[in-house]
Structure 1
Amino acid sequence: MEKAFKLDFENDKVGSLYVNCCGCSQTESLHSFGPASKPHYLIHYVLSGKGIFRFHDKEYRLEAGYGFLIQPNELAFYQADEKEPWSYLWVGFGGSRAGEYLNSMGLSGRHPIFSCERDQELYSIVRDMMEHNTFGVADDLRRNGQLGVFLSILAQSAGVVAKDEEDKGNQYVKKAVSFIQSNYCNPIKVTDVADYVCINRSYLYTLFQNYLGMSPQQFLTTFRITKARELLDSTSYPIESIALSCGYRDALVFTKAFHAMKGMSPSQYRKQSHRESSREQLQEVEHLIAQLLQSQEKI
């Protein structure tokens, strides 16, 4: 038997994120669910006691402070412990961006288990959803807003269990590289990159060395100088403007960084690039003339 307080909400199922159902349960010994599926995402969080969760041919033994994700239309089974049956809360949800948010948090069918120490906050959110249970637009907006807060807490504090360190490290590096690619034109520093991916600078340094063979600072500088070369090749912008466009407030600092990497100043590079471009154009003209002469000889 199970003592459960639950609510299922009518929903047009249109939008980026919306609540389908929620509830709290105090289970009896060996109470179980499944194997069965649900048409939406379902997150359970254990408040007390113990139990097991089976998903994709794997079994996880869980206790208070842990939770699990069930994906839509996927068979899952969970059962309360015989001696210490668990109590838990749950939230079912869907939306066009639900899967994207979960993947960003590191939760998936491969890694469905997480830990979180903010149990009182999660419980309060679910209780608030249940208290605002009318069909009206005000309560609908409130529930969906609370779902965003619920997932935000998990994203901030949840640790994904049994997720390979290599997978996590790769994810951090990808996010850091993406941040640099989008913000190289701003005067960002490595500390800004580390803060964005929510890890300390020394760990970010280690990950970049392991995955890219260079430090975060080297990658940032290399990316900026590469973009500067493109501007030097394709525009007649002043050196000062190119420096600002690539995140350097000081043109002298930019020139020193460029020289250290390319062995010449930005102005020298531009002149050489133009000479090489002119030489290539001359070679193309000479080639066309040679072809023309050959064709005339055959006439």
Structure 2
Amino acid sequence: MENAYVLQLSDHKFQDLYLCFCGYAKCEPLHSFGPAVRPNYILHYILEGKGRYYVEDTQYELQAGQGFLIEPEVQTFYQADQEEPWTYLWVGFHGSQAREYLKDIGLNSHQLIFRCSHAEELKQIVITMLKNNTSSTTNQFLLESLLYSFFSILSQDIDIVPSAVANEENMYIRRALEYIHNNYSNSIKVSDIADYVCIDRSYLYRLFRQSMDMSPQDYLVNYRITRAAELLSLTDLPVGGVALSCGYRDPLVFGKAFKLKRGITPAQFRKKNRKDANEHLQTNQDILGKL
């Protein structure tokens, strides 16, 4: 679980660079998100604590003062530390020049990790974003200026952390994740993944435990359920359609798997998610004033 404050935006006036969402969260031990593929760019910045960030087959150990970039349509997973769970903020954005602007501050597909010493400034920008949560023209201009200010602060004091060098075992994991990403909507099994990678199933299991801290089966299920949660939150697709889209031919099996991972049924999740979003917009102002 996490104590989170989130702003979601559905409209934007700008094209070059625009804010899609932002947030601030104090995570519980081992709170995680993913495996998932996101449609936007996201910059996370860690204010306190530490955790792990996985990009396909690469793992990063991160702590306060560091941040990480999530790119669109790239599979990622991140998890708070058990002893010192992180508190972080994030901004999600897109636009025709988003990739170029990230490149200007030194971030790209090969440079995803950074350090920055301006924690308080970044935090105040995100809090101001969260407080201005209406879609008025004035707020759209304000949020746009705050997003550019976020980039400006990073450009002043960003320190790029070199990426790890891949090895043969990483190659096997990368190919396995590629297969899951492309085929999770089908009725694939762990044996299919092992066959695609051309290694023994037990060796695949060992690699996943070492690199991802979970089995291939757990990873596949987590990925499917995360994608299902996104569809339930962002679309009006019927629950049966969500199940089919995520590799479950039997809606009852899907419902049991979803409840096991999320604690509630898919229908309950959709209802709660939308109710929480509406209540969140109404109550965040006073809470954020205390941060």
Aligned to 1:129: 129
Aligned to 2:87: 87
Relative to structure 1, is the Cα distance of residues 75 and 13 closer, same or farther in structure 2, using a 3 angstrom cutoff?
Answer: farther
Question: 1:56: Cα distance to partner?
Answer: 3.4
Give the ranges of 4+ consecutive aligned residues of structure 1 lying more than 6 Å apart after TM superposition: none
Unaligned runs of 5+ in 1: 165-299
Is the Cα contact below 8 Å between 1:66 and 1:115 reproduced in 2? yes
Q: Report the secondary structure of 1:121's partner residue.
A: helix
After TM superposition, the score normalised by the length of structure 2 is: 0.55
Is the Cα contact below 8 Å between 1:19 and 1:143 reproduced in 2? yes
Aligned to 1:61: 61
- After superposition, residues 189-200 of structure 1 pair within 5 angstroms as none
Aligned residues: 164
User: What RMSD over aligned residues (CA atoms) do the two structures have, in Å?
Assistant: 1.4
Relative to structure 1, is the Cα distance of residues 61 and 163 closer, same or farther in structure 2, using a 3 angstrom cutoff?
Answer: closer
Aligned to 2:39: 39
Tell me, yes or no, if structure 1 residue 146 matches structure 2 residue 163: no
Distance 1:22 1:154 in 2: 16
Aligned to 1:230: none
Aligned to 2:96: 96
- After superposition, residues 236-255 of structure 1 pair within 5 angstroms as none
Distance 1:6 1:34 in 2: 18
After TM superposition, the score normalised by the length of structure 1 is: 0.53
Aligned to 2:9: 9
Distance 1:29 1:127 in 2: 23
Aligned to 1:113: 113
Distance 1:37 1:4 in 2: 20
How much identity, in percent, do the aligned residues show?
45
Question: 1:13: Cα distance to partner?
Answer: 7.1
Structure of higher CA gyration radius:
1
Aligned to 2:231: none
Is the Cα contact below 8 Å between 2:53 and 2:76 reproduced in 1? yes
Is the Cα contact below 8 Å between 1:56 and 1:109 reproduced in 2? no
Unaligned runs of 5+ in 2: 165-291
Aligned to 1:22: 22
Distance 1:3 1:13 in 2: 30
Relative to structure 1, is the Cα distance of residues 74 and 13 closer, same or farther in structure 2, using a 3 angstrom cutoff?
Answer: farther
